Structure 1
């Protein structure tokens, strides 16, 4: 864990207070580092693997210093907002949610509570920060801490898909009293880090890096159909590989199968249901109520297979995901590791399998284009999958960490899987 910090650690007594609130026996080193930095008034840029406790790391300073003002937390998806709402309430925080689901009356009610000083934490989206009423209410009461969760979305979604992401920094700059700003995610390559720092106007942020390693996840990749060019035969091999790994993924956990297109989501889920699997298709075209139903089933049932596009599972606090399958090549190393990292949050063994064919590259190139940063990242992913080098070593290097030793259990280290 790297901690580039000019600050003093929070005291042992403060750590004890936080452990009691969180229900921990002790804080992890990166949590102490982030909380210490924010408590001392420094911005913080935190990267820590999924399941590493980043939620507690960015809430700790607020718990220690409730007098400093509202804690505003930006979450990109409703599932993330719902999970954080539950976590914050469990900590005894007075929390409100501000998103597009609210009626006009509910919207005004939340802002009224903020202005009355009865809100500790406000969960919201970047789009809500663009509204003048939201700015006025928060500026009047004072924002003590502002956290941008899943800050890789600034790079992946800013400007092109969700322009409001590019305006978070402007919101921060216009506040009369600048808050302590924290940006956090599980995946942030060095080039993306520069973008996040600039976009949010971070002031000499303390950089806290947890290890990218997830030794409980065995990473497997298979280049299928190396001698095949007929799409039906390639698909047949994908399904055969999927069938084989589903046989022994374990009865005590759940599975997510990621697909690159909506058509593939429906095809794979239908194929699984025909073979007796409890499979659900999840994609953007579903109604909100249907998405909520599927998410609830996934959280509450042990053995269910979700076939989905990339966003499903982001921030979802489900500990017993035992298997992640990528039915085709992901879009980037970040995309691959974000999805893969959703397995094994309970620390128990899990597996990730990528089933890729050389034709997947051309399919993805149609999605991202054949030039620019996204295309270069697609090229990097192809090299990652085809290089034959230990996946753990490649990930460490990509995310700016020492290469270290081979993991000895990925498919490049051990070929008999």
Structure 2
């Protein structure tokens, strides 16, 4: 296994980058081949470089990288091409017999693939792994953005089946999982799903903090669906002003992201409205690449995005990130905030807009109002009870009337019963009002971020760093 200095020298020669010690240690663990690896490092810290370093030490070796987003896969291939390394991204469009023949003939040293193509039953990868000459050249299988295994496994089930690759390999190769946001629960889940070898598991944890990002929480002052609170992003822009700072706004629903984009466009003159776009999974890969380049080149100012734009996207100068609504997990929130100022020389702002009922001070006001309502209701009940008592005393004083006048006739009684039955049937025919309003549960750590001051934290970062055990980072 090459020394630290040897790996560093080769990396400088090929990639023009000087790898950190943690990246080199991961490389050496991969080359040893007798351990699986969990690597945690902050967004923009350089996890991807550790994928390519082993190639420098194994001239015929192959790295397989599993990525959640097609646009991210192509980005990796383009980066490698600049360094003179042949790679291919396999998606539904590129999963052809010719491409798999080229892979089998060792034309490519890096294969980037989404989980659906990797785990396709009877697909090209199943055939490749059964070929000893190919399997022997695989240095490692890398699961990038591994938090998706837990978060997306329910609607991308292939993520939950990647561990079965072990059964296709004559000799298990190293499997490496990487992310900036792995909680203890996610790590436990990943170990089980991927069948990671527990004996001697190599664990690398670097700091996930991003000190150049200012964290801000703002209550929504206007109705959520109005999006008026997002108007600050355009800063009352007029044509004689410089463009507003580059921004991304993240949503948990596609329709909401489009509605927000349409609102922001109304704040601009017609000829400038295309400076604000929306970006989601329903758009073509070609469109996504084009819009990403436009944002990078300052041709557009901001995107209303879902997770289709996010993990691993390497834009250095996005100055403002907004999460619209406290509806996501802490892992998703920190991933999205991590798109902000990936250039460490810049300083940016990440803003969480939350519904007012998630704020402790508002909750307390709500409790006080509820207590006042209960007190008033109790007084009303007491008054009504006293009135009934007084009425009963008055009735005792009334002389008994003749039984004939007291009783309803038989016909009247029967008529009363029939009307009662009809009323009951009519009640059953009416549509019942649902009392179960669908409402997402607020992530406990996101709750602490929102209410840091009320819950005794001196900084909003503390609950985030605690959740990801950042104090254990080496």
**TM-score category of the 2 structures, normalised to the smaller one:** 0.7 to 0.9
Partner of 1:209: 205
Segments of structure 2 that go 5 or more residues without pairing to the other structure are 360-435
Secondary structure at the counterpart of residue 66 of structure 1: coil
Alpha-carbon shift at residue 384 of structure 1 (Å): 2.4
Distance, in Å, in 1 between the alignment partners of 2:158 and 2:73 is: 17
- Normalising by the residue count of structure 2, what TM-score does the alignment of the two structures yield? 0.73
Alpha-carbon shift at residue 333 of structure 1 (Å): 0.7
Task: Give the one of 214, 217, 223 matched to 1:221.
Answer: 217
Secondary structure at the counterpart of residue 183 of structure 1: strand
Native 8 Å contact 1:253 1:303 kept in 2: no
1:137 pairs with 2:128: yes
Q: 1:165 to 1:205 in 2, by over 3 A?
A: same
Task: Give the one of 193, 214, 239 matched to 2:230.
Answer: 239
Native 8 Å contact 2:279 2:306 kept in 1: yes
Give per-residue Cα distances to partners, 1:257-280, cap 9 Å, x unaligned: 112322321222112222226100
Give per-residue Cα distances to partners, 1:371-397, cap 9 Å, x unaligned: xxxx4x723322321232212222211
Partner of 2:283: 286
Task: Give the one of 254, 259, 262 matched to 1:262.
Answer: 254
Distance, in Å, in 2 between the alignment partners of 1:288 and 1:11 is: 39
Partner of 1:386: 451
Task: Give the one of 60, 63, 66 matched to 1:71.
Answer: 63
Q: 1:246 to 1:15 in 2, by over 3 A?
A: farther
Secondary structure at the counterpart of residue 172 of structure 2: coil
Secondary structure at the counterpart of residue 19 of structure 2: coil
Distance, in Å, in 2 between the alignment partners of 1:54 and 1:403 is: 18
Partner of 1:299: 296
Alpha-carbon shift at residue 246 of structure 1 (Å): 8.7
Distance, in Å, in 2 between the alignment partners of 1:177 and 1:263 is: 47
Q: 1:51 to 1:357 in 2, by over 3 A?
A: same
Give per-residue Cα distances to partners, 1:63-112, cap 9 Å, x unaligned: 22233x3211111111111111112222322212211012xxx6111111
Distance, in Å, in 1 between the alignment partners of 2:312 and 2:469 is: 23
Secondary structure at the counterpart of residue 354 of structure 1: strand
Task: Give the one of 38, 59, 62 matched to 2:52.
Answer: 59
Partner of 1:192: 186
Partner of 1:410: none
Partner of 1:16: 9
User: What does 1:12-411 align with in structure 2 at a 5 Å threshold?
Assistant: 12-24=5-17, 26-41=18-33, 42-67=35-60, 69-102=61-94, 107-131=96-120, 132=122, 133-140=124-131, 141-142=134-135, 143-158=138-153, 160-203=154-197, 204-225=200-221, 231=223, 235=226, 238-242=229-233, 254-276=246-268, 278-301=275-298, 304-347=301-344, 348-358=346-356, 375=441, 378-388=443-453, 389=457, 390-402=459-471
Segments of structure 1 that go 5 or more residues without pairing to the other structure are 1-7, 405-417
Aligned residue pairs: how many? Answer: 376
Distance, in Å, in 2 between the alignment partners of 1:262 and 1:98 is: 26
Distance, in Å, in 2 between the alignment partners of 1:148 and 1:325 is: 27
- Normalising by the residue count of structure 1, what TM-score does the alignment of the two structures yield? 0.82
Give per-residue Cα distances to partners, 1:273-324, cap 9 Å, x unaligned: 2222610012233344443432332233265110112331322111111110
Q: 1:396 to 1:360 in 2, by over 3 A?
A: closer
Alpha-carbon shift at residue 174 of structure 1 (Å): 2.1
